[in-house]
Structure formats: C-alpha cells, structure tokens
Amino acid sequence: MKEESKIKLNNLLVSNLLKIAFATADTVFFKKILFPVIEKGIRSAIDRVPGPVTWPGVLEDKYYMLRSMAYSSLKLGLSSRFATTVVNKAILSDLRMKKEIEFRTKFGFDPPGFMVISPAKRCNLRCRGCYANSASEKDQLDYKIFTRVIEEMREFWGARFVTVSGGEPMMYRWNGKGILDIYKEHPDSLFLMYTNGTMINDKVARKFYDLGNITPAISVEGMQTVTEQRRGKGVFEKITRAMEILKKNHVLFGVSITVTKDNAEEIVSDEFIDYYFDKLGAGYAWVFHYMPIGRDIDPDLIPTPDQRVMLWEKSWDIVKNRKIMFVDFWNHGPVSDGCVSAGRPGGYFYIDWQAKVYPCVFFPYAATTMNQIYDNGGNLNDLINLPLYSRIRDWQFKYWKEGDLLRPCPIRDHYRMAKKFVVETSAMPSDEGTAEIIKDPVYEKKMDKYDRELAKKTTPIWEDIYKHGNRR
C-alpha cells in the first residue's frame, strides 16, 4: 500500500474513533475502555513522529499536553459540526499532506501551520496600558487582504487554522462586513478568536454554534479583583455571563491570560482552575507572559525567573493531574519544539491591522506588509525567505540541537540576539514606542539581565529532566 493511501486510511480510522469518542464522552464505556485506547494512540503517534527534538522529557511533555487536549475536548462534548471541523479539517487533512510535499520541494522544509491575524486595533474597553486605547476606525485590515490570506494559507500550505486577535475582533467592520462574515466565508477553516467577551450574547453564541468553526478565548487576568483592576469595573460580570452563554449554547471556549509578576500565583491557584474550568466550563487556557512592548511598558512586570519556574511546575500539575489543556507559551516550549514564529515548519506569521507582517505577536518588527507583497504580484510564499524571517528560522533550527527549550523565545529570552536581527535587516517597528525601545540601552540592559538570570534557573531543569529523562 502506498504511503499516501496508508495516511488516508489512518485518517479515516482515527476520524471515526474520535467521532465515537465525542458521542460517548460522558459514559463509563468512554472512561474505562475508549479513552485508554486514545491515550495509547497518542503515545504511539509521538513515538512514530517525534518531531525535531527527541529528548525524553520533550516527548513526555508532548504526550501529556496532547492527552489533556483530547480529554478537555471530549469531556465538554463538542457539537458534531465543530467536531467535524476540528477532526477532518484542522487535525486530519489529506490536503495538508499534499501541500507539505509541494512546499518542501520548493523551500527545503515543511510549511507554516497557521496564521495570526489582528484585523482591528479598535476595542470597546480601555484596559490599562493597552495599545488599543488610541485606535480609530482607520486602524483596520482591508477585508480583501484578510480573506485572501486565509485562501492562500490553504492553497500554498494546506493550513486551515487561523488565530484572530485584536483589539476586539467583534468590532471589526469593513464595507459592511464583519468578523462573522470571515468565518462564514471559510467554513473549512478553524478559527480561534481572542476576545474580551463583552460583545458575546445569545444571538452571537448561536451563530458560533451554527457556523461550527469558531472557538473564542476570553481574556481574564485572574479572579474578579485583579481582572477589574486592569479591565474596568463591571467587566468581570460581563465575562462570566459570556462564558455561561457559550456553555449553554454548546460552544467550546477557553480563557486567555496575560501573566505578570503580580498575578502569577493566582492564575495557577486551585480557586482559579476550579472557577473557570469546573464551574464555568472553559475547555482550555492560553497563557502569555507579559511582554513589555506597546504603551506604558514596564519590564519589571515580567514574571520573575523564580515565578517562571513556579509556573512551569504548577502548569504541568494542571495538565498532568487534572487533564486540563493549560498552555503556557514560554514554559511549554518543549511541546512545540521551541519558538513557532517566522513561518517555521508548523509555525506562523502575524499580520496586524496595517497589514504589516511580523515574526510573531510578541516580536513587533516587520519585514514587509501584505500590501507590498500583493502590489508586487506576490503571495504568502514570498514571505518565506525575507531576511528577518530566515534569520530567525536559522536560529530556531540550530536551537533545536543546542538550546534550552524552556527559554524558547528570541525577543524575550535572547533579547540581544533578536535586536541584532532587527537592526541588521532594517525591520519596521510596529509604532513609535517599539522604534524607541530598540535604541534604548536601559531597556536592553534590563532584558539582558533577565535573560541571564533565567538561564541560571532553567538550564539545570533542562539538563536533568528533559535531556536525561529524570522525572519531576
């Protein structure tokens, strides 16, 4: 049997198995018989396709994270339409296999796996320190570019996963069209939408359910007090109401958390996990460490190196023992084989409301804009070998062999190197603030000091637990 036929048969078998799992998730049959089979399948898949980094601790992390992802999804009981989108179009895709071969032949490595797009800078909240405070209606992405990028992802990369960020995506409007029109226009793509949640009502939730290809991640800072300190009085009630509405309408949702030194302990506390996951029904969490870019920057708000180790320990307890998909983009670098920016295999690019293309959301220096690419008759593949992105990818490929994946982020964990890439490739800053900080010696000194102190904490963990496979 040809390899392509084997993959198609495997996809068919796994698809049917997962559909059965979604239908029986609340039964004894699922818990006693079916989920153990799924667990073995996950372990087998990791052994067969381990990825570029194969240290024992890395494979262990991947197993537990994928297990938590499966358990969280199945436990919540997804709608059949959403389950079909996830299983057949986002996870198991014959199209992806075909496009990988085409892309690899041309560029020598596998294509990116998704895009992050911020179509609007505008927001209906005025959170402390947020760049969206100064936005206007002009700060929006042309709808034609928005939809074309999604089409080209599919055409050139076989990718059908899009993360939508902001501002507030629900406020996006372009010539009478909004964000729901994008979701409707691309029914075979899966959209993760970061949102403040305040514009989600029953009508919106029903549309999400009917479309079957959207999962909203609602931003929280912690419990009520700390959330409202940043987001404003009364916002916590609106957030929890939105979650109740989504749960009632059987829409999978999660939470998005920006962690600072002030809320680091709270977001991994039993109170936080019990409330958002057990009571309100969140299915996952995305955890982003505060990055001092944009307005009112304060490097001292970054979680300290000691807090970062604490978050690593606590988050894996949540993933392993409570089987909750709780993803910390910095501490869980081993799961993704490190940094996923700059269009690396399975990674992504980030496009903002000005159509500027950045290596990632937290690396606010762009090599080009999609306007320039399209005006010159190009397409998404013309991003691949631009110097800024190729420099970062060369570092990523080398870091797979030599680096500590608990420090995966170029702009955060290796600042002086990232600055060198920006300066030497004449990358465009996102705004005046990022133009200034790249020249600020005080900022550079603080970031470099953090990087060196962090290395002292994580390197022993990386060597002992990840490379040598000693258990936590």
In this structure, how many other beta carbons lie within 10 angstroms of the beta carbon of residue 215? 21
Instruction: Report the SS3 class of residue 259.
Output: strand
Q: Could you give the percent of the chain with pLDDT greater than 70?
A: 86
pLDDT score, position 81: 65
354-389 in b/e form (b: 16+ CB < 10 A) is bbbbbbbbbbbbbbbbbeebbeeeeebbebbebebb
Quickly state the pLDDT bin for 47 (edges 50, 70, 90): confident
* Pair 435, 287: CB distance under 8 Å: no
Q: What is the mean pLDDT of the chain?
A: 89
pLDDT score, position 186: 96
User: What is the Cα–Cα distance from 462 to 470, expressed in whole angstroms?
Assistant: 10
> Which of 119-123, 244-248, 278-282, 417-421 bottoms out in mean pLDDT, i.e. has the lowest?
119-123
Residue 133 has pLDDT above 60, yes or no: no
Among the ranges 70-84, 126-140, 283-297, which has the highest mean pLDDT value? 283-297
pLDDT score, position 89: 57
Q: Whose CA is closest to 59, among 465, 399, 329, 334? A: 334
DSSP one-letter string for 52-89: S---HHHHHHHHHHHHHHHHHHHHH---HHHHHIIIII
pLDDT score, position 35: 75
* Pair 246, 205: CB distance under 8 Å: yes
Q: pLDDT tens-digit profile of 90-106?
A: 555 678 888 999 999 99
pLDDT score, position 33: 72
The residue type at 383: L
φ, ψ (nearest 5 deg) of residue 363: -120, 85
Q: Whose CA is closest to 119, among 182, 212, 55? A: 182
312-346 in b/e form (b: 16+ CB < 10 A) is bebbbebbbebbbbbbbbbbbbbbbbbbbbbbbbb
* Pair 360, 351: CB distance under 8 Å: no
Q: pLDDT tens-digit profile of 15-37?
A: 565 666 555 556 666 666 777 87
> Which of 72-76, 369-373, 454-458 bottoms out in mean pLDDT, i.e. has the lowest?
72-76
List 194's β-bridge partners, or say none: 217
Average pLDDT over residues 66-90: 70
* Pair 287, 315: CB distance under 8 Å: yes
In this structure, how many other beta carbons lie within 10 angstroms of the beta carbon of residue 49? 7
Q: pLDDT tens-digit profile of 101-123?
A: 999 999 999 999 999 999 999 88
Average pLDDT over residues 239-246: 96
* Pair 289, 302: CB distance under 8 Å: yes
pLDDT score, position 232: 85
Average pLDDT over residues 127-152: 79
List 348's β-bridge partners, or say none: 114
Q: What is the pTM of this model?
A: 0.92
Quickly state the pLDDT bin for 74 (edges 50, 70, 90): confident
pLDDT score, position 38: 78
User: For the domain with range 106-382, which CATH number is right: 3.40.50.1000, 3.40.50.410, 3.20.20.70, 3.40.50.620?
Assistant: 3.20.20.70
Residue 424 in tokens: 């030497």
pLDDT score, position 92: 55
* Pair 260, 248: CB distance under 8 Å: no
**Segments making up each domain of the chain, as ranges:** 3-91, 106-382
Average pLDDT over residues 172-176: 95
Residue 325 in tokens: 């998909």
pLDDT score, position 91: 55
User: What is the Cα–Cα distance from 130 to 254, expressed in whole angstroms?
Assistant: 21
Quickly state the pLDDT bin for 319 (edges 50, 70, 90): very high
Q: Who contacts 155 (Cβ-Cβ below 8 Å, separation ≥6)?
A: none
Average pLDDT over residues 334-360: 97
Instruction: Report the SS3 class of residue 266.
Output: helix
> Which of 35-39, 211-215, 374-378, 452-456 bottoms out in mean pLDDT, i.e. has the lowest?
35-39
φ, ψ (nearest 5 deg) of residue 317: -65, -40
Q: Whose CA is closest to 348, among 337, 332, 338, 359? A: 359
Residue 132 has pLDDT above 60, yes or no: no
Residue 8 has pLDDT above 70, yes or no: no
User: What is the Cα–Cα distance from 249 to 81, expressed in whole angstroms?
Assistant: 13
The sheet carrying 356-358 orders its strands as 325-328, 284-289, 254-259, 214-220, 190-195, 161-164, 114-117, 348-351, 356-358, 368-369
The residue type at 405: L
Residue showing tokens 């931003």: 219
User: What is the Cα–Cα distance from 136 to 131, expressed in whole angstroms?
Assistant: 11
pLDDT score, position 310: 98
φ, ψ (nearest 5 deg) of residue 151: -65, -40
Q: pLDDT tens-digit profile of 250-298?
A: 999 999 999 999 999 999 999 999 999 999 999 999 999 999 886 678 8
pLDDT score, position 41: 81
Q: Could you give the percent of the chain with pLDDT greater than 90?
A: 72
Residue 45 has pLDDT above 90, yes or no: no
pLDDT score, position 211: 93
